[in-house]
Amino acid sequence: MRQLIKGNCYSILDKCSNHFDGIITDIPFKGAIKNKLNEEIFSFDKFLSFAKRVIKNNGFLISFCNLKCLIDLVNFGKKYGFIDKTYQIWNKEPLRT
C-alpha cells in the first residue's frame, strides 16, 4: 500500500518503527527564513535518529536542503548509518527573506 502522509514529522515518526520504505522531505533551510514564521529550531540529530528508526532496512532518505545544511545532513547521517550516494545541487534563492 502506498500512502502519502503530511504533517509534523516528529509526531508522525514517533508512532512508527521500521515502517516506511523511505522518506522524502524538505527540511528547514539554514538561514533561509530567519525565524519569521516562528518555526522551531531544526535538529538534524533528532530528525535522523527518528528517520533511522522508522525506515526499513535498505530503505532510502531523500532530502531537499541548501548548502548550509548539506554538511550537517551528511555528518549526522553517517552517525546513524546512512550512506550518502549522490547530490543534486540547485542553487536558488529563498522566496522568503
DSSP letters, 7-61, are S-HHHHHTT-SS-EEEEEEEPPPTTTSTTTT-PPPP-HHHHHHHHHHHEEEEEEE
- pLDDT for 36: 52
- pLDDT for 65: 79
Asked whether residue 88 is assigned to any structural domain, the reply reads no
Give the percent of the chain with pLDDT over 70: 73
pLDDT at 78 over 70: yes
More confident residue, 66 or 75: 75
Asked whether residue 96 is assigned to any structural domain, the reply reads no
- pLDDT for 29: 62
pLDDT at 7 over 90: no
pLDDT tens, residue by residue, 22-67: 888 887 666 555 555 555 667 888 888 888 888 998 889 988 877 7
pLDDT at 90 over 60: yes
Q: Grid coordinates representing 51? A: 528517520
- pLDDT for 79: 93
How many domains are there within the chain?
Answer: 1
Asked whether residue 1 is assigned to any structural domain, the reply reads no
Q: Which domain holds residue 13?
A: 9-79
